[in-house]
A and B are shown apart, each in its own frame.
Chain A
Amino acid sequence: MAAPVISVRDLRVWYGTERGPVRAVDGVSFDVRAGETLGLVGESGCGKSTLGRGILGLLPTGSAVDGSVRFRDRELVGVKQSDMRETRGAELGLIFQEPMTRLDPLMRISEHFAETLRAHEPELSSAEIDARSIDTLRRMGIPPTRFRHYPHEFSGGMRQRIMIALALVLNPAFVVADEPTTALDVLVEAQILSILADLKRNFDTSLLLITHNLGIVAEACERVAVMYAGRIVEEGDARQVFSDPSHPYTRELLRSTISLSTTALHYIPGSPPDLVDPPSGCHFHPRCPSAMQVCSRLDPVEVRAASGQRVSCWLHGPDELIPPGGTAPLQRQELASADEA
C-alpha cells in the first residue's frame, strides 16, 4: 500500500466565542495515500469544512490548532504563515464551493493562470506558462480557443472546471475540494464528479472531498470518513461503509438520504449538538436509536470493526472497557419535532 501523503493525528481546532470555545474539530486522525480520494461527509456544522481548512492552515484569526498534520514528512501545524504560503498552492491545493465568486471578473483566464504559475514557479517562460495552462484546461474539457476569455463568458460548470484546473496546474500532491458541486445543476454536477473521480488517473493527486451528500461520495471516493460533532465516527472503504455501516450515525445518515431507490422518507430525530457544550460521552447518543447506558458516560474508543473499518461506537466494544450494566438501553428524552438542523 502506498505511503500516506497526508497524515492527520489527533487534530483539534477551537474557535473562541463569547460563550466559550467551540470545539469544531475534536481529535481527528486519518491518512490520505497517494492518488487516493477520501470523502469527508457530515451535516452542516459538524466541522468538516474547518477540518479541510485546518489542514491547509487557512483558519481565521481567533482559532487555535493542536495536534499534527504531516505532509510528506513535514509537520504543517505550527508552521509560519510565510512558509505555509509556499507549500500551499504548489503542493496543497484547494477547490472552493462557489466558482462564480472566486475568479476575478477583470482578469482573463490566461491571466489567472499566469499569476498562479508566476507566484509559485517564477522560472517559467511565458510560452511554458501558456502551454501548461492550456494543457491543464484541456484535460478539464475547456477548449484552447477559450484561453483568453473572461470569466463572465463561461457557464457555471466551466468556471468550476477552470477553478479545478487552476488548483491542478501546479501539480499539487494533495487537494481539498470543499463542496465543489453544491452550486451546480445536476447534470453539471455529474460531469464535475466524473472529472474528480478521474483525477487519480490523470494527475496522480490525492483528494479530500468534503460534502454533505453521501451519493457524491459513492460516486467519486474510494474511502469515506463520516464526521459528527467534530469527530470522525467511522472511516473505511467506501463500498464497505455504504453496504455495511458500523456506526448508527452512518446508518441513519444513509437511510435519510433521498435517492431514486429510496422507498420511504426517513430522518434522524433531533439536531447536531452545540459544540460549545457537546453531550457527554458519545456526541451522538441523544439521537442514537441504539444508545446504551455507557454511551452517555464514556467517550467511545476507536476500534476496528469486523468488516475492516475504523469505528468509534460502544456497540463494537471494546467490551472489557464497558462498566457493568453499561449495555442496558438508554432511556432518552422525547425530542421536539422542530429540534433539528
Chain B
Amino acid sequence: MPTKPDDLDVHHAHLESDATPLDDRPVVLDVRDLRVHFALRGGFFDRLLGRSSGSVKAVDGVSFTLRKGEVLGLVGESGSGKTTTARALLGLAPITGGTVRFDAGPEFGGAIELTGLREPQFRAVRQAIQLVFQDPHASLNPAMDLATAVAHPLKIHHITKDRVEIDRRVRAAFERVGLAPVDQYLHKYPADLSGGQKQRAVLARAIMLNPALLVADEPVSMLDMSVRAKILQLMLDLKRDLGLTYLYVTHDLATAKFFCDTIAIMYLGRIVEIGPAAQIYADPKHPYTRSLLAAIPEPDPRRAVPRNLPRGEVPDAARPPLGCSFHPRCPAAFAPCGWEARDVNALLEQRWTAVEEGEYERERAVVGDPVELEAGATALLPDIHAGSGAAAALLDDIKSADPNEPFWRGVRSVEPEPGGVRLDFNEPVDPALRDIGSVRVACHLHDPRFAALAAPVETP
C-alpha cells in the first residue's frame, strides 16, 4: 500500500492499526452470504393468477470480511451488484438473506447484526457507517451553504445544539479535508465550488460523526484526472489519521490498485475473485479480472497493444446465464461453463454481423429470426424447409468459419430432428469460490475436476 512519507506531525490516535498485520486486527465488518433479491412485479395477468414473475438477484451470496484500517475494493461493471452491496450495508437496499455483522469497537457498543434491523435502529448504525457518493454535486443540497451541510449530521443525529460546539467541529472538519482557509469556504454554496472541492466538503460531512467505516461509491470517477490523485491521497490521509476503514466501490482497477489492501471482483451479483490486492494485480486468475485489467487505457502509446476483449455487455440480471454468468463473454469458456439455448442466438447474431447482406438474407431464410429461446441445456434450431438439412449445414458453416469459438466447446451433440436441429449442451455447473493460494476464485479453469477438459486457450 502506498503511504506518504511521514513528514506531518499528526497525532496518530490509531497508529497501532497501521502497524499490526491485517490478519491480527479486529474485524469491523463480516458479511456472510449476503443476498439482495428484488421480486419482479410481472404483468397484470401474472398478478391476477398469483403467478410469480421471478426475481432480480442483484446481490446473490456475497461474503467478505473487513478488518480495522483495511481498504476493500469492490470492483465490477454497472450491474455487477457492487453498489447494491454497499447500499445494503447502510440499510438502503433490502437485505433478503445472509448475515452482516458490524463491530465498530467498544465505543459504539460492540457488535451488531445488521440484517433485520428496522429503520430507527439503522439510523443509529449510520453514525458509524458513512457513505460518500459518486456525484459530489448531487450529494450536496444546492440551497445549503457548506457550513450548514457539513453540520447537518450533528443535527440529524441530535448530537449537539450548542452553536459554539457546532462551529468548532465544522471548522475542524474543514481543516481536516483541506478546505482552508476555512472562513473562505464556510459560507460558499455548492455551485461556487469545483468538483474536487465539493468532494472534499462531502468527505468533511462524512467524518463529522467520527465514523468507523466509510463506504465510498466511486468517489473519484466524476472528477478530472488531475484531481483524482489529490482526493485519493486525502482519503488515505483521513484513514491514517482517523483510524477509518474503507469499502471502496469502483469500476476502475487503476485507482483501486493505489487504494486497496484487498480486492473483490464482482460480476452479476457474485464475487468471482477475491484476495490481497498485490496478488490480484500480479497474477489475476479469473478471465473476467484479466479482461478488466487489460481494458484500462494506458497513457503510453508504445504499450497500447491490440487486445482480446470480451464481447458484449453485462447480461440482464433477471435472466442470468446458466452456469458461470460470464461464460457468454468469456474468451476461455469451455464445456462445463453453462452453454445453453440462448447462446445459439448470440452465435447467429455474431455471424450475421460479420457476413454480407445477401448471405444474411439466405441464412435467415433457413432458420428464421432468432426467437427468444428459453434458458435450458438443449436448443431446437428450426429449419424452415424441414428435412432439407439446411440448418445443419449452416451450423457446420459457422463452425468451420471459426472453430476456436468457445461455444463449440459446450456443444455435446448436434442431432437432426423433424423440423430442425437439436443441440445438446454439456451439463451446466455453477462455479463456486475455491482457494487458489491466497486468493479465492470462482472459475472452472481452476477446478481440478475439469482440468482435463480445459483447452489451452489464449486469454487477454
Contacts and interface: CB of A to CB of B under 8 A. Distances in A.
Interface of A: 43-44, 131, 134-135, 138, 141-146, 155-158, 185-191, 193-194, 212-219, 238-239, 242-243, 252-254, 256-262, 264-268, 271, 336-338, 340-341
B281 A260 contact: yes
Question: How many B residues touch the partner, as a band?
Answer: 35 or more
Contacts of B304: 218-219
B297 A258 contact: no
B196 interface: yes
B285 interface: no
A215 B313 contact: no
Contact of B232 (A194, A214, A265): A265
A259 B299 contact: yes
Contacts of A212: 224-225
Contact of B302 (A143, A243, A258): A243
Contacts of B294: 190
Interface stretch (B46-54, B117-125, B163-171, B173-181): B173-181
B302 A268 contact: no
A44 B307 CA distance: 29
Given A218-B301, A260-B257, A341 B195 contact: yes
Interface in B207-241: 223-230, 232-233
Contacts of B298: 215, 218-219, 259-261
Contact of A259 (B197, B254, B313): B254
Most chain B CB within 10 A, of A213, A215, A340, is at A340
B138 to A, nearest CB: 15
Contact of A262 (B178, B200, B254): B254
A187 B77 contact: yes
23 contacts: A143-B349, A144-B353, A145-B352, A146-B349, A156-B313, A187-B313, A190-B297, A191-B309, A194-B306, A217-B299, A242-B302, A243-B301, A256-B229, A258-B228, A260-B293, A262-B258, A267-B230, A337-B180, A338-B179, A338-B185, A340-B196, A340-B197, A341-B226
A21 B399 CA distance: 64
B77 A242 contact: no
Nearest to B234: A337
A267 B180 contact: no
A258 B226 CA distance: 9
A265 B233 contact: yes
Top-9 shortest CB links A-B: A215-B297, A143-B349, A190-B295, A337-B178, A214-B299, A185-B77, A267-B229, A265-B229, A267-B230
A175 B185 CA distance: 42
A188 B297 contact: no
B291 A187 contact: yes
B367 to A, nearest CB: 11
B224 A43 contact: yes
Chain A at the B interface: mostly helix, strand, loop or mixed? helix
A271 B226 CA distance: 9
Contact of A336 (B180, B223, B281, B357): B180
Nearest to A143: B349
A336 B181 contact: yes
B254 A258 contact: yes
A265 B2 contact: yes
Given A187-B310, A242-B299, A256 B77 contact: no
B253 A271 contact: no
A106 B266 CA distance: 34
B180 A338 contact: yes
Contact of B301 (A143, A189, A238, A265): A238
Given A43-B226, A44-B224, A266-B229, A341 B194 contact: yes
B179 to A, nearest CB: 5
Given A187-B310, A212-B224, A340 B299 contact: no
Contacts of A213: 225, 297
Contacts of A253: 225-226
Contacts of B200: 338
B188 to A, nearest CB: 11
Contact of A261 (B224, B253, B300): B300
A261 to B, nearest CB: 7
Interface in B27-59: none
B252 A186 contact: yes
Contacts of A256: 225-226, 228-229
Interface string B286-330: 000001111111111111101101110110000000000000000
Contact of A131 (B306, B348, B357): B357
A219 B296 CA distance: 10
Contacts of A258: 225, 228-229, 232, 254-255, 258
Given A187-B295, A190-B297, A340 B357 contact: no
A186 B310 CA distance: 11
A258 B253 CA distance: 10
Nearest to B196: A340
Contacts of A268: 226
B404 interface: no
A239 B230 contact: no
Given A213-B225, A214-B225, A187 B349 contact: no
A268 B227 CA distance: 8
B77 A186 contact: yes
Nearest to A42: B224
A260 B253 contact: yes
A142 B353 contact: yes
A273 to B, nearest CB: 12
Contacts of B78: 156, 185
A286 to B, nearest CB: 14
B369 interface: yes
A242 B251 contact: no
Contact of A340 (B225, B227, B252): B227
A44 B298 CA distance: 20
Nearest to B223: A341
B313 A158 contact: yes
Contacts of A185: 77-78, 251, 313-314
A143 B350 CA distance: 7
A183 to B, nearest CB: 10
Most chain A CB within 10 A, of B228, B281, B298, is at B298
Nearest to A270: B226
